[in-house]
Amino acid sequence: MTTSSLLQASGLRKTFGDNVVLDGVDLDVPEGTTTAIIGPSGSGKTTLLRSLNALTVPDAGTVSIGDVSVDFGSLPRGKEGRRACERLRAQSGMVFQSHELFPHRTVLGNLVEGPVQVQGEDPDEAAARARALLEQVGLAGREDAYPSQLSGGQQQRVGIARALALRPRVVLLDEPTSALDPELVGEVLAVVRDLASQGWTMVVVTHEIRFAADVADTVVFVDGGHVVERGPARDVVDAPQHERTQRFLERVLHPG
């Protein structure tokens, strides 16, 4: 990959009580690429992803997105530290397992809220961009619907559009399909695939290993708070080098 890194994390450490969840994790995501994070339940994938936008504040390590950099090991206490975290958070858009849309706002209302209230965008411009984003996620014409009137897959696609509406430099997705009924998974993965092909920079935690192999540029396997293996997506999935990766993939690709 010749492009330069847009997101870099190094030496991330996070301990909950005496549970060392991240034990010195590095990550390097070139602009315009998709990185998939895979690994067993409880291995720290969500903690890692949340650390990238300071929703979880690591005990040590640095995260840089573009020219915004936070050294968590020397984060100032109080307001100054919080501001640094907010600046970093503004660089990325987060898509959660379940969408967390505002139930009393229409689809359009959900999409324009952040750009208008937080970023001070002109409401008409925000609405025009929101409509274009809805079209991109296959929901043109649904702007006046309320979340409860949509299927889970449609709601999750609104959640993705809402993250994009904030014009983030990086999109972070934490198992965007794992709360969905199986028949709804495909439509959401298709949107993520589309974003990858358009050159969005993304980090996606996923249990969809085949999807990771097909869509991601890089796969990172984490276990026990460490990056055990990383490499080109197909290489890691189809020819894992590390014994722990081999065992994990064997278990998830050929259960029972």
Q: Please give the residue ranges that form the binding site for Mg ion (CB under 5 A).
A: 45-46
Separation CA 101–CA 117 (nearest Å): 16
Say how many CA atoms lie within 13 Å of 236 toward its Cβ.
28
Complex with ligand ATP: residue 39 or 153, whichever CB lies closer: 39
User: Is 34 in contact with 199 (CB distance < 8 Å)?
Assistant: no
CB of 70 to Mg ion, least distance (A): 22
Complex with ligand ATP: residue 49 or 150, whichever CB lies closer: 49
Complex with ligand ATP: residue 55 or 190, whichever CB lies closer: 55
Residue 43 binds what, of ligand ATP, Mg ion, none (CB under 5 to 8 Å, by partner type)? Answer: ligand ATP
Which residue's C-beta sits nearest to Mg ion? 46
First to last CA, the chain: 37
Complex with Mg ion: residue 45 or 162, whichever CB lies closer: 45
Residue 41 binds what, of Mg ion, ligand ATP, none (CB under 5 to 8 Å, by partner type)? Answer: ligand ATP
How many other β-carbons are positioned within 10 Å of the β-carbon of residue 158? 26
Closest CA to 161 of 177, 179, 175, 140: 140
Separation CA 70–CA 59 (nearest Å): 12
Residues that bind ligand ATP (CB under 6 A): 16, 19, 21, 39, 41-47
Complex with ligand ATP: residue 43 or 91, whichever CB lies closer: 43
Residue 44 binds what, of Mg ion, ligand ATP, none (CB under 5 to 8 Å, by partner type)? Answer: ligand ATP
Return the DSSP state at 147: G
Complex with ligand ATP: residue 57 or 68, whichever CB lies closer: 57
Residue 76 binds what, of ligand ATP, Mg ion, none (CB under 5 to 8 Å, by partner type)? Answer: none
Residues 6+ apart with CB under 8 A from 119: 166, 167
Closest CA to 48 of 205, 160, 159: 205
Say how many CA atoms lie within 13 Å of 78 toward its Cβ.
0
Residue 245 binds what, of ligand ATP, Mg ion, none (CB under 5 to 8 Å, by partner type)? Answer: none
Residue 47 binds what, of Mg ion, ligand ATP, none (CB under 5 to 8 Å, by partner type)? Answer: ligand ATP
